[in-house]
Amino acid sequence: MSEFVQYVNHGASRVTPKVVELVLRQLPMWKVEFTQINAPKFPHLVDQLEFLADAVEDFAEGAYKDLPYFAFAEAVFALTYAHKKIDIIPDLLPEIGRADDSSIVRAVLIQNERGFEKYAEAQGFNWKKITSKP
């Protein structure tokens, strides 16, 4: 998992206001796209992506200001990564195509567990449904 953590940290360090602006414009379409993910081996991935998308929107709009900025940047990176069709493991590969997406999302959630758990509680989300350790 440490390689994914390093990859996520590097990706988050490259999130700029311009990247955030582009992601926010596309996020409504991505949220719909994420609901269409069929990855039985990664049953929590859709809920986790929807949660991160909500956290990104709420933070960017100022509706929730207690999320650490690095957690926000990592979430932006994870959403961007999950949207890509061709990445470390292409999403089109049956059964394993979402393994890398799931690992990226889990790395973000694990590294920022306190911040996201606090956000989930404030927004009325069931953290146990979202967490990487359901």
- Dump pLDDT digits (tens) for 7-35: 999 999 999 999 999 999 999 999 999 99
Q: Please indicate, yes or no, if residue 131 is contained in any of the structural domains.
A: no
Q: Please indicate, yes or no, if residue 132 is contained in any of the structural domains.
A: no
Q: Please indicate, yes or no, if residue 24 is contained in any of the structural domains.
A: yes
Q: Please indicate, yes or no, if residue 105 is contained in any of the structural domains.
A: yes
pLDDT tens digits for range 63-98:
999 999 999 999 999 999 999 877 777 776 777 878
Q: Please indicate, yes or no, if residue 11 is contained in any of the structural domains.
A: yes
- Listed as own residue / partner, the contacts of 79-83 with beta carbons closer than 8 Å and 24 or more positions apart are 79/23, 79/27, 79/30, 79/49, 79/52, 79/53, 80/11, 80/19, 80/23, 81/11, 82/34, 82/45, 82/49, 83/26, 83/30, 83/33
> pLDDT exceeding 70 applies to what percent of the chain?
96
Question: What is the domain range of residue 87?
Answer: 2-125
- Higher pLDDT among residues 32 and 99, named by residue: 32
Q: Please indicate, yes or no, if residue 130 is contained in any of the structural domains.
A: no
Structural domain tally of the chain? 1
Q: Please indicate, yes or no, if residue 26 is contained in any of the structural domains.
A: yes
pLDDT tens digits for range 42-61:
899 999 999 999 999 999 99
pLDDT band at 106 (very low <50, low <70, confident <90, very high): very high
